[in-house]
Amino acid sequence: MSESSLCRAHFHVLAEASPGLLSRLLQPLAKRDLVPDFVRAVREGDLMRVELLLEAMPQEMVHLVGGNLGQVIGVLEQHCESGQALLLAA
């Protein structure tokens, strides 16, 4: 029986608005078979404010995804709020 630790992760990104931005921000999640529970994107002039929320994300992937989001072309700021871990037995 394997155990994995899951947590809530809420990523906040500020980036330059561009046509391919949203797909580039979702790519770090997609390559790890993760689907966000909530996505919000608001354009503010030449900038875009994006939120990505995952209610149950593997805890060991939070810093990896955060690092990948920070490396996306056009990203100016990125931070993550991660919640309490949940221990699930599979």
Q: Where are the beta strands (DSSP E) in 17-66?
A: 38-44, 47-58
Q: Give the pLDDT confidence of 75-88 residue by residue, as tens digits.
A: 999 999 987 655 55
**CA separation for the pair 54, 36 (Å, rounded):** 5
Contact 78, 66 (CB under 8 A): yes
Only one residue has tokens 């871990």, namely 85
Check whether 4 has a pLDDT greater than 70: no
pTM of the predicted structure, to 2 decimals: 0.86
Show me where the domains of the chain are located: 3-84
**CA separation for the pair 75, 49 (Å, rounded):** 10
Q: Determine the CATH number of domain 3-84.
A: 3.30.70.260
Q: Give the pLDDT confidence of 32-44 residue by residue, as tens digits.
A: 999 999 999 999 9
Specify the pLDDT at position 26: 98
Closest CA to 23 of 61, 58, 52: 52
